[in-house]
Structure 1
């Protein structure tokens, strides 16, 4: 009886270890890396990075993706710098592809870490819930892909939240993976395009202007895609089929 009592809490603790590890590393990284993962660091090392890329392209690409995955998976500072660096080192198309692959892999790591711990508990509670909570659960499942796309496309939603929340409410991983990989493409394309011209910006002694993402001609189409993703939810609500 004693062994069973000790085993249950141990298993519960182990389920939470992945997410707990992410939180601890994120806190440590925030205080130790925020002054290093910057555009100043990139500018100071750009010649060495470009030289290594030219002589070892595949190794540089693999290393870049690995670092970016770690930044996203552990919610470390420097995600925007990494996205811009992808364009600086690899150009628009390869840089966008590498950025999307890395960010999707990192997001998936957070998803699985959260689902293994808190996600299991909350998903079980949602399954047995009634009333308003049940309506929200059913509405989410019926419109899962639309909701996930909206989370990805609306810039005001923090990337970490868009990774964590779906795992906590029990969405299907295949839908999470699909909407992440496709939903982050517009933003990744913008940041990568900024990186393509980064060399000229550094030559002028300036830093890249990341506020470009909020320019009307950029944010407008992205919000338009978000509205399009939300359209099925709105139509169902107007028809009275679901109270969402």
Structure 2
């Protein structure tokens, strides 16, 4: 083998080694994220189990129905405090990418009603998404771009042209995890203001569907009086149909838009 051949093959080996190194880093990050989520899940299970064994005597439907009345009375007497607390809770969960956003959305719809819950969840979810977006941008963007600069240059060029449209599609179609969109968008050159308003509009329809599903759940007082038969209402059936058909409908609309382009 000549020295010229050796010099020609050296960059190929170096590039291969870099790819293996990058793959190792991605694998390590993935494992770390998995362990963190597992730890959070175990912690939540532990808290719920501890609460159940300590308060199982009072966790009856009749008792909870009585407490629901007290909660609603307190909310009507202190609306600003209740909405502020609810906003901070939802923003924290979405901003830290913790599990529980969907159950919390349903709960807010059940407790606050459709329009109040829609405003609350819409703005708090976007605030949490923007928080995760900015965290990703200022903590990870420089390191990622220094390692994968050429690849991200191509991605950023595409986002400069149609970044808002791509983000809108990602928000509208629930095909990608909420937290993943926030983190990945933070690595691009899309502006924070654009990220905020596109997310605000793009997530509105899906949020409305989940809020409606939450409002379809009967109150605890109704469940206490009617039993299991009080759960299955026509409104709840409609809500389940909407939850099932909404992603399919949105996907068809998006495909038509892309075909026209």
TM-score, normalization by structure 2: 0.66
Structure 1 CA distance, aligned partners of 2:141 and 2:255? 28
| Partner-residue secondary structure (3-state), 1:215 | helix
* Residue of structure 2 in register with 1:182 after alignment: 201
* Residue of structure 2 in register with 1:88 after alignment: 110
- From 226, 233, 244, the equivalent of 1:215 is 244
Structure 2 CA distance, aligned partners of 1:211 and 1:185? 18
- From 35, 43, 55, the equivalent of 1:32 is 43
Consecutive unaligned residues in structure 2, runs of 5 or more: 1-32, 49-58
- From 106, 116, 130, the equivalent of 2:128 is 106
Deviation at 1:223, TM superposition (A): 2.5
Name the structure where helix makes up a greater proportion of residues: 2
Which segment drifts farther, 143-152 or 197-206? 197-206
Deviation at 1:63, TM superposition (A): 1.0
- From 159, 166, 169, the equivalent of 1:147 is 166
Which segment drifts farther, 134-143 or 58-67? 134-143
Deviation at 1:55, TM superposition (A): 2.1
Relative to structure 1, the CA distance from residue 93 to residue 119 in structure 2 (aligned partners, 3 Å threshold; closer, same or farther) is same
Deviation at 1:134, TM superposition (A): 4.1
Alignment pair present for 1:172 and 2:191: yes
Which of the pair has more CA radius of gyration?
2
Q: Is the 8 A contact 1:151 1:162 kept in 2?
A: yes
TM-score, normalization by structure 1: 0.70
Deviation at 1:125, TM superposition (A): 5.7
Q: Cα RMSD over matched residues?
A: 3.1
Q: Is the 8 A contact 1:25 1:74 kept in 2?
A: no
Deviation at 1:67, TM superposition (A): 0.7
Deviation at 1:133, TM superposition (A): 5.5
Deviation at 1:122, TM superposition (A): 2.8
* Residue of structure 2 in register with 1:78 after alignment: 100
| Partner-residue secondary structure (3-state), 1:99 | helix
Q: Is the 8 A contact 2:91 2:124 kept in 1?
A: yes
Structure 2 CA distance, aligned partners of 1:75 and 1:105? 12
